[in-house]
């Protein structure tokens, strides 16, 4: 996700593309923070020999939903932009 944000930010000079690149970068930073927090929590559980549950259900679903809606909104805005410019499909 970070690579996509960086490539989109460097390759485009349009305002819409740069805004999406910044949004993708924020999502990428959020994923990094989530991964670090999850790692620290699991390391603590292992060190304490906690027999607790290591499964994470909600986090991956939220990350997948954010990525899906970010890419879907990018697609919708691009299609509307092409329709506005009367570019044939």
Q: What is the pLDDT of residues 57-85, one digit of tens each?
A: 898 998 889 889 888 988 898 888 888 88
Domain coverage including residue 8: 2-84
CB-count burial class (<10 Å; 0-12, 13-18, 19+) for 60: exposed
Residue 43 placed within a domain: yes
pLDDT in tens, 20-69: 888 888 888 988 999 999 999 999 999 999 888 888 889 899 888 988 98
Q: 68 lies in a domain?
A: yes
Contact 5, 14 (CB under 8 A): no
Q: 49's torsion region: left (phi>0), alpha (psi -120 to 50) or beta?
A: left
Residue 6 lies in a domain: yes
pTM, two decimals, is 0.73
- Give a yes or no: residue 27 inside a domain: yes
Question: How many distinct structural domains can be found in the chain?
Answer: 1
Domain contains 65: yes
Examine residue 89 and state whether it is found in any structural domain, yes or no.
Answer: no
């Amino acid at each position: 996700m970070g690579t996509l944000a960086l490539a989109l930010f460097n390759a485009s000079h349009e305002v819409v593309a740069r805004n999406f690149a910044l949004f993708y970068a924020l999502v990428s930073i959020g994923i990094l923070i989530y991964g670090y927090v999850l790692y620290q929590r699991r390391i603590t559980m292992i060190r304490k020999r906690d027999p607790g549950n290591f499964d994470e259900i909600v986090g991956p679903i939220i990350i997948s939903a954010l990525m899906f809606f970010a890419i879907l909104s990018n697609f919708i805005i691009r299609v509307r932009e092409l329709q506005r410019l009367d570019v044939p499909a």
